[in-house]
Amino acid sequence: MFVVESQCCADQPTNCRYMCHEWEIGIEADSNAKREEVEKLVNELMVGEKGKKMRERTLQLKKKTEE
């Protein structure tokens, strides 16, 4: 699972921080992101190098939870 994060209020900044910077399974989008920017981020997740690294990281986290 990959996440494109756009934070606005309450606990969302904290969630975004953990998912994008600590767990490294998401990409942060600007809160005023236009369609083209979101499309670029999604493409990066699906076929880019960052997406590949995130898939590997997700599998590592999955294995840790199964132990």
Does the pLDDT value for residue 59 go beyond 90? Answer: yes
Which of 11, 41, 19, 45 has the alpha carbon at shortest distance from 29?
A: 41
> Token pair for residue 56?
């590997």
Averaged pLDDT, 29-58: 90
Averaged pLDDT, 14-22: 86
Q: How far apart are alpha carbons 26 and 48 in whole angstroms?
A: 13
> Against a cut of 0.85, is the pTM above it?
no
Q: How confident is the model at residue 7 (pLDDT cuts 50, 70, 90)?
A: low
Residue spans of the domains in the chain: they are 3-66
pLDDT for res 10: 80
Residues near 53 by beta carbon (within 8 Å), at least 6 away in sequence? 24
